[in-house]
Structure 1
Amino acid sequence: MTATSVLIEDAEQQQLPRPAAHIIKSDAEAIEVAHWVAAAIAKEAATRDAERRLPAPELDLFSQSGLWGITVPREYGGAFVSNATLAEVIAIIAEADPSIGQIPQNHLYMVEGIRLDGTEFQKKFFFDLVLKGVRFGNAFSEIGTKSVNDVQTRITPTEGGYLLSGKKFYSSGALLADWVPVVAKNEADDTIVAFVKKGTPGLTIIDDWSSFGQRTTASGTTILENIFIPSEYVLPHHLAFDRPTSMGPVAQIIQAAVDTGIARAALRDTIHFVRNHTRPWIDSNLEHGYEDPLSIKDIGDLQIRVHATDALLHRSGEFLDIAQRDPNEDTVAAASIAVAEAKVLSTETALLAGSKLFELAGTRSTLGQFNLDRHWRNARTHTLHDPVRWKYYAVGNYVLNNVKPPRHPWI
């Protein structure tokens, strides 16, 4: 029996604590299922945030709905939906609960990484698991290093594979994942991703995420202590950036979609509160708060910005589809810039909508019973992932000087 067949048999014997996932077949079905899942997880979103309650049953519903497998290529049994559909699915889920909307970001990122640079074994093996509902978490980023791409975690050769050691933070989704992909550097200082099964000796995930926003992303610290990794579980991730690929903009469009969902939710709750609770200002001489012309004007401005964000998000998905079909320096750069534009507007709209909510709804809206501050807290926390000030620069340099943006996961 070969080493590969042993790994396959080992994975098949690994029983999931939940039924196999539904397999989505089309873009239209993905959108339909996303709306159904969103309606279910929205019911206790505010309570989960207030209590910092990890969304275990909600995440099971989400992953087993088939939505975590919609980017698996068709030749491996997936729907390989358009990137506009992918972004809309995430925005729909994030409007219901942005913590849950963020959790599959790195899972979907790794599906793309496997599509681009996985061996045939890795594609068959991991895509099959994904379609069954297996969830990838992440152990990518580290804390206290010089920069986000300064990776201290190391993987060193040993008989039959590698040994992996390091410490990670911001491990979104890892606490509730089945596998934890880990970014590390190999002996040549190239960036690789090692796939670690939950329960592997030496893997410890600590529930210590204490941010004021995105409180229930199942994140925290990941400790990796001399973990044995079969060579078949190691992906040469640096290849995705050594050449022009869709890897970076795929990562970014999902981030923009989360912020778009937060903006939609903040505007939705603003309208509901103003319609049902807000009093008119005394100088308006009006009966209802929703008749206030200045409030009406600001609501109109927010709606326009949300619709513009939706449009840029959809447009960026179209550019990304082109880059996936025909990856080259020009198409990938155009996709990165289009996604950067969507990320800028989604960031600014989410922050504005989260803040304007209180200005338009009034003091009562700040009461803890409503927990409406979660929208701004979530927006402020999530949008720190990639500073949009650098996206303004990338867009400006591209259109003014024809300078293509750098290739990495943050553009």
Structure 2
Amino acid sequence: MIAETKSALQDVVASLIAEISKTASERDKLGGTAKKERDLIRKSGLLRLASPKAYGGEKADWSTILHITREIAKVDSSVAHLFGYHFLCLASVELYGTAEQVSHFTKETAENDNFWGNAFNPLDIHVKAKKTANGWLVQGKKSFCSGATDSDRLLISAQKEDGSGVVIAVIPSIREGVIIGNDWDSFGQRQTDSGSVEFHNVEVKHSEVLEAFQINDDNVFATVRTHIAQSILIHVLLGTAEGAFDVAKEYTKTQTRPWVTSNVDTAAEDPYHVYNYGELFVKLKAADALTKVSNEVLDKTWALKHEVTFEQRGECSIAVATTKVQVVQTALDVTSRIFQVMGARSTSAQYNFDRYWRNVRTHTLHDPIDYKIRDIGQYTLNNIYPEISAYS
């Protein structure tokens, strides 16, 4: 097991975060792969969190996994993203695979502390799969493949060549013909390795294909992957905002000079700073409250497995969407407004405080909250659940 008690698990997480935080700012400037930090996560045993206790795991619920993701995001949102997506990819086996595949990949992951990477991006349909006698032959290039670099297992998706659907599979990341690109150049989330993966006649075996994959009225459970993905990003965003808030408070109290006409001795006594911190605190607390609600709904929905109904899935979608809107708006506000309460010197490159805003802004552009608000409005006014998609 990772830890014998809840307190011991908290110590493992705290120790990991302390190490990651030491180099977080400098690594953000450099970009590239957080190899050392990924290996620290492997050694911590936390990649086994969702595994059964018989495999050395904790059989943790989503609330626990998401909480740890959020704690990591306070110091390093890129590593938090990688950590959360590991569990998203592993959970995809249960959503799309057979019981035998769940057992195999869960045990393998726990025994080897395998780190999972993503080449699943549902919006990118440029990867094709051709049927062969032994399985499938995959060809093409996939974008936004977070965590593919330095991964041990890769969750992939490809369009069947005959147009009859999608192949979803799990393959070793070092499979011949897999080329993981070092081409991620966003101004935020610089160490998520969210670039491309190319497939050059990659062989996929029958046993690696998640054959139970179907999305229809009888398998609503498969669509819950969307809510897990959304929840992971919610926690990355909220953790990032909380981290920014914490460093800003410390800076304001120790570095910021009082304004010349403020008539106070310290910046912490400035009535405008006090007001701004109070308002941002309220917004963060509101986001935290909604996050707890949506986590509880997600845990209950996940527990239903294949018994989950369309209506229950819809309620989960609304809970997650509501939280996402609040968290996005709060995170953008907090990571921007901290400079207003820290002052001009806080924009110095030595502090790299802009990384909090850059990382939040990058994430929020991949999933516009305008559509979340539209869905919530339709539900509120017309009792219509969001259309099932990769983002709702």
Q: TM-score, normalised by structure 1?
A: 0.88
Contiguous gaps of at least 5 residues in structure 2: none
**Which of 213, 218, 239 is 1:261 aligned to?**
239
Amino acid at match of 2:151: A
- Structure 2 counterpart of 1:271, which letter? K
Q: Aligned equivalents of 2:376 and 2:131: distance in 1?
A: 41
C-alpha RMSD over aligned residues: 2.0
Deviation string, structure 1 residues 188-241 (Cα, Å, up to 9, x no partner): 532232222122111101111111111111232211011111111111475256
1:191 corresponds to: 166
Note if contact 2:258-2:267 (Cα within 8 Å) is conserved in structure 1: yes
1:371 maps to what in 2?
Answer: 352
What residue is the counterpart of 1:135 in the other structure? 115
1:339 matched to 2:320: yes
What one-letter code is carried by the residue in structure 2 that aligns with 1:157?
K
Deviations 1:146-193 (A, max 9, x none): xx6351211121121110111011111111111221111224532232
- TM-score computed with the length of structure 2 as normaliser: 0.92
Task: Tell whether the 8 Å contact from 1:94 to 1:100 is kept in structure 2 after alignment.
Answer: yes
Q: Distance in 1 between matches of 2:293 and 2:182?
A: 37
2:290 maps to what in 1?
Answer: 312
* CA 1:264–1:360: 2 relative to 1, 3 Å: same
The answer on whether the counterparts of 1:84 and 1:316 sit within 8 Å (CA) in structure 2 is no
2:72 equivalent among 93, 100, 111: 93
Are the equivalent residues in 2 in contact too, given 1:319–1:338 (CA < 8 A)?
A: yes
Distance 1:338 1:305 in 2: 18
The Cα shift of 1:278 comes to 0.7
Residue 29 of structure 1, CA deviation: 5.4
Matched residue SS, 2:149: helix
SS of the aligned residue for 1:333 comes to helix
Selected match of 1:244 from 198, 215, 220: 220
> What displacement does 1:373 show?
0.5
Counterparts of residues 342-361 of structure 1 (less than 5 Å): 342-361=323-342
Aligned AA (2:136): Y
Cα separation, 2, equivalents of 1:80 and 1:323: 16
Match of 1:152 among 98, 122, 126: 126
Bigger shift: 257-266 or 121-130? Answer: 121-130
The 10-residue stretch of structure 1 (48-57 or 257-266) with the greater mean CA deviation from structure 2:
48-57
Is the deviation greater in 285-294 or in 67-76?
Answer: 67-76
Quick one: structure 1 residues 23 and 409, their matched pair in 2 at CA, closer, same or farther if it must change by over 3 Å?
farther
Q: Percent identity?
A: 33
**SS state at 2:220 partner:** coil
Q: Does 1:294 align with 2:275?
A: no
**Aligned partner of 1:376: which letter?**
W
Contact kept, 8 Å, 2:117 with 2:152, in 1: the verdict is: yes
1:102 corresponds to 2:78: no
1:395 maps to 376
Give 1:19's aligned residue: none
> 8 Å contact 1:244–1:332 — kept in the other structure?
yes
Aligned positions, number: 384
Equivalent position amino acid for 2:139 in 1: S
**For residues 253-273 of structure 1, what are the alpha-carbon distances to aligned partners after superposition, in whole Å with 9 as ceiling and x for unaligned?**
101000011110110111011
Q: 1:382 maps to what in 2?
A: 363
What does 1:109-128 correspond to in 2, within 5 Å?
109-128=88-107
Q: In the alignment, is residue 37 of structure 1 matched against residue 16 of structure 2?
A: yes
Residue of 152, 156, 159 corresponding to 1:182: 156
Where in structure 1 are there 5+ consecutive unaligned residues?
Answer: 1-21, 142-147
The partner residue of 1:223 within 187, 198, 223 is 198
1:182 aligned partner, one-letter code: I
Moved more, 398-407 or 72-81: 72-81
Task: Return closer, same or farther for 1:80/1:97 CA change in 2, 3 Å cut-off.
Answer: same
CA 357–99 in structure 1, closer or farther in 2 if over 3 Å, else same = same
One of 33, 37, 40 as aligned partner of 1:58: 37
